[in-house]
Each structure stands twice: as C-alpha cells, then as structure tokens.
C-alpha cells in the first residue's frame, strides 16, 4: 500500500472514531463538550425499565447508594464542573431540589476532579450528594433504552425504581424538571 493510500485510510479511520465519540448531540462551540440533542423522553409506566443501582463515593469520600432512596422519586444528573451547560442548569437543579424535599437528587460526576466539583457545589449552595463516576460506569448502567448521550443528562426515576424520563438538553428549565417529577410521581402503580 502506498504512503498516500495509508494516509487516506488512517484519516478515514480517525474520522469514524471521532464520529463515534460524539454521542447524541453536536460539538459545542465552547468548552469542548458534546451538547445534548434537546430531547425530553418520557416512558409510559408499563414500558419502564428498572433503574440501575448507583453506588460509589461522594465528593467527601463517603459511601453513597441509591438503594437508600427506595420508595422515593429520584432525579439523577450526570454533570461536570467543566461543562458550560452543566454550570448553567445548576441553579435549576438546586431550586427544584430545595423546593421538592420529598424527591431525592443525586449527581454523577463525569470526567472531573472531586475538589473542583465540591467547590462548584459549595459556590452554588448545592447540598444533594454527587457520586464520583469518572470512568462512566454508573451512567453506562442506564443501558440502551435511555442512555447518556451527552453531558449533562438527567434521568427521573419513579418511586418503584423504574426510569420514567430522560432529559438530554442543555437548556433545562424548572418547569420541565418539575413536570417530569410530577409525571413520575403520578404515573406509578
């Protein structure tokens, strides 16, 4: 194979590999993140799948497990302090978590340092637990039905532990999040 052919093959392989890393969204213009595709997906109660067990260390090194929240609606947010849309949606998550005390919020830290995330949460007054998931093993547990496609992604799990909704948008609003929590709470059997 000639040098020109090998270079062309290498370029094609590189492009395919890069396309495979782009996830659901598109490359954002700032911050090097892959932005979400703007979808909000709800799942009818009869079609819901069991939410994954999420367990690991929080930002202080303490053990956290989602099993402790059985019987509650749980909002799970995959985020990083380096991510501009994550930083933008943080006040929404804080507001709703403060107002809906019967709902448990859990962060899944992606590709970030716990110290950076802790400083960010403290600056925003966010007090719900964040589990360090830098290898992406926890978000991968959401499987193929409602997988993480970009950061941030938020899932709403109903009180029976079934995944009721996924939010893959970089423009999360209080109204959207409250509506999905209400949907998860009212459509459980």
How many CB atoms are closer than 10 A to CB 12?
10
Q: Which pLDDT does position 187 carry in this prediction?
A: 60
Give the burial string for 142-176 (b: 16+ CB within 10 Å, else e). beeebebbbbbbbbbbbbbbbbbbbbbbbebeeeb
CATH number belonging to domain 26-186: 3.40.30.10
The answer to whether the bond into 152 is cis (omega within 30° of 0) is yes
**In the chain, pLDDT over 70 holds for what percent of residues?**
78
Domain segments of the chain: what residues?
A: 26-186
Residue among 52, 20, 2, 35 at smallest CA distance from 162 = 52
- Whether the per-residue pLDDT at 24 is higher than 60: the answer is no
Higher pLDDT, 154 or 16: 154
pLDDT averaged over the chain?
A: 82
Sole residue written with tokens 């941030």: 152
pTM: 0.80
Region 3-18 average pLDDT: 33
- Helix extents (H) in the chain: 3-20, 84-99, 114-124, 137-140, 174-186
What are the backbone angles phi and psi of residue 144, rounded to the nearest 5°?
A: -100, -15
């Amino acid at each position: 194979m000639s040098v020109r052919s090998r270079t062309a093959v290498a370029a094609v392989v590189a492009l395919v590999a890069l396309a495979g890393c782009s996830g659901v969204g598109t490359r954002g213009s700032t911050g090097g993140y892959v932005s979400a595709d703007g979808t909000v997906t709800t799942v009818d109660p009869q079609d819901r799948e069991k939410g994954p067990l999420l367990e690991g260390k929080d930002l202080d090194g303490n053990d956290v497990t989602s099993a402790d929240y059985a019987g509650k609606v749980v909002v799970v947010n995959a985020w990083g302090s380096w991510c501009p849309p994550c930083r933008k949606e943080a006040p929404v998550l804080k507001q709703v978590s403060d107002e809906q005390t019967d709902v448990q919020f859990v962060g899944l830290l992606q590709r970030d340092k716990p110290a950076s995330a802790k400083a960010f949460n403290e600056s925003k007054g966010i007090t719900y637990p964040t589990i360090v998931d830098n290898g992406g093993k926890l978000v991968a547990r959401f499987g193929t039905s409602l997988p993480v496609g970009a950061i941030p992604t938020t899932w709403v799990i109903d009180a029976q532990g079934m995944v009721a909704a996924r939010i893959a948008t970089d423009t999360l609003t209080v109204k959207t999040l409250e509506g999905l929590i209400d949907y998860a709470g009212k459509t459980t059997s």
